[in-house]
Chains A and B, each alone.
Chain A
Amino acid sequence: MNHDPFQKISQAPTRPHAAATPSRFDVADLYRGPVAGDAAAAAAAPALDEKLRQAYFWIVNRAIISPHYDIEYHAGPPRSHMVGDTRRTLTLPSAQSYSSFVLLPLLAFAARRKCLFIGGPGRGKTASAVLMGVLAGIPVREVRRAMQHGHPQMTVADLLGNPLPADLLNARRLDEIRIAWRAWLPMRVKIVDEYNRIPTRTQSALLTLMGDNYAEQLDQVFECPESAWYLTANDDQGGGTYPVIEALRDRIDVTVQALAFNPRFLDELLLRIEDDIRPEELVPRELVFSEAEIDAMGAAIRAVSVPVPVRRRLEFFASQFELCETAGAQFEYLSKDTARLAGVPLRELGAADNGRDRLADLGCQSLNGISVRQLGTLLVFAKALAWFRGNPEVDLEDLRQVLPFVLRDKLQPDPEAPFFAEAGNTALRSDRISWLRLLFDLASAEYERLDLDRRDEVGEMAATLARGLDGLGERETAARIVRIEKLVAERVKGRKLYGHLADDLLMLKYLHQRYTNYLAWLRAR
């Protein structure tokens, strides 16, 4: 019996639910207990979400010394304390809370997504990435050898592989040249250390790999399996030796910061030094996930439902940021992206934008909007967090907690925005996580104020269309068109154009167009 503390996995449920009394008692429970010696009575392999939680707690308790609970959940009102001259709030969460530095990479592991670790040197970024590789069943030595280390002389061949010299000499056609592909390409966990030190040309090859899952050299293609990616960088501003191309930065799904080590935990560090312990070499076998298990986790995550009220709040939040009324003339081009593509600084356009409440309008705080890729990533990670917590559907708090980490490097704050000049908001210029969470809270508050859960005529019209057009006659189609036109007239009457209104009007235009085309088809029959 192994009593190595690093092999110890909690046998207690990691996410106990209240009043989970079994509906039928199993006499085999007689032999289940604290002693693990009875293999026949040992609990069946835990459910995958329980296994992932066990992996989380093992990492937090045994591997990475990171006792930060910055992803806070509350079962009731938490205790909060104000401290310091700036009256910062210390909250004591009243429900199971998590460390983002451990949780988000684990969720990326489960959903096979791409996670960027940022932080100063020596803070455990690479060590965390290696742990993820070991959890996937790759021997730690192979994980370390397969890790790609970014450096200024890194070539595409270094990253992907080399053509066989003999083939180069003898081949008469390009397809006769075989490529000795690098061993890391088929791995299900891929690690790139210091990715911001990779030269630009090689970054493009990395982009193809990350974005399209294949590697190409001399017209030879290597198809890679779906993988979880872990990249590290000392900063996320694209600094390093080479600027990181925007498309590559955009492929990263979630960014987590390695938080400062709390010296009160020095005894843990001392124990590892004295016992020569490397946690990545001590991952319990029971916590290693097979490929089939990771596939199953992905399927289970995708099956988690997103309730309509949660989805609507995300829609409302996302609609706040893209609109730039002075960026275009046609309605569809009234976006910050239009200005960016034309090379017109947003500041110039903002000066011409009169009448808008630049403090209340959340869109004024950002330089860009949220892309569809980012929305998809948000949904995946919200589902993953709900699944991790053992819930069948996404809670609004799940969305609120993952959102800052998904959008951290995506939604760019406008440092010139009046919001950041307000007293108490200066720190939000540097604390992106808190800023993004506050944005979501403000959007949710506005959503509640507008009572959009109960008053969503646009949503009702969209739902009506979604039920289909089969059997819909001319009269009813015409009536629906009229209703849409009336709603548009009502919505545009004397109002300032804010993001959510613009999106509602575009949705109404879409519905109008669908019915118009259908009516024309009916009449042409």
Chain B
Amino acid sequence: MLTMGLDIGSRSAKCAILDDGKLLTYGQVETGPDSAKTAHVAVDAAIHRRTKLWGESRMALPNVSTDQLRIEDMDSIVATGYGRFVVPFAHATVTEISCHGRGAHWLVPGVSTILDMGGQDCKAIRVNERGEVTNFIMNDKCAGGTGRFLEMIADALKLPLFEIGDLSLTSTKAIPFNNVCAVFAKSEAVALMRKGESHADILAGLHDVISRRAIGLLRQVGIAEKFVITGGIARNVGVVTKIREQLDEMEVIIPAEPMVAGALGAALFAFDRARRKSRAGVTEPIAV
């Protein structure tokens, strides 16, 4: 039984394909202005095992050809994320909270707490031993505690987004930042740059701000082991390091492919659907 999960985020779109619940392939691409088209591009990336974001695949995949797969071959397709309602060939949608919980549970059995920070939101999720969500809190109102904050800072400092985390770790001076607002933090950063402060030191201060913000959110649902970080932010070693420092005693687990948790969860929900329908002798409608 082939099932597909799509996570259409504000910045990146991920597609995961399972064969009887086992990971067959996945892909991730940049989200474009057209969600429907982005979905197709993400599927394409998965089928042809081509990931355009962040380099090569880091999860082991079965040595099986997937190039011949088509959307029509899927027994069930579930979409999640910001752009989920505009995926024309999805059979169902499931919330990103549930999908991230399920996906993280699949990636890290025994997970209890998940921090997921994406392009424009941040979620703290608690799951039980079955990967079902028991509590969560989300910020999607303020750019300050989201990937957008880091994007703006990278932009202000004229640095590629994927470099700022590493650069922040080379800091030698602590600069306390007063602002949680992305707009004000950006002007503060620019002012400090003009005063001659180094990029590394400015970045370290800002990574500290965003980490504290994330931990503040987490504490509202409680942090218990195992603790996992998913979403784009998990790829930022600067934030991960700051969080590790602040959560002293607790292990902070970063899956090999943290951005795919949502799509994986969606694909697993699709697997549930496919099995249910199979038992009932029903199939999903042919995708348009």
Chains A and B come from one and the same complex: no
Which B residues lie at the A interface, using CB under 8 A?
Answer: none
Question: A residues near B, CB below 8 A?
Answer: none
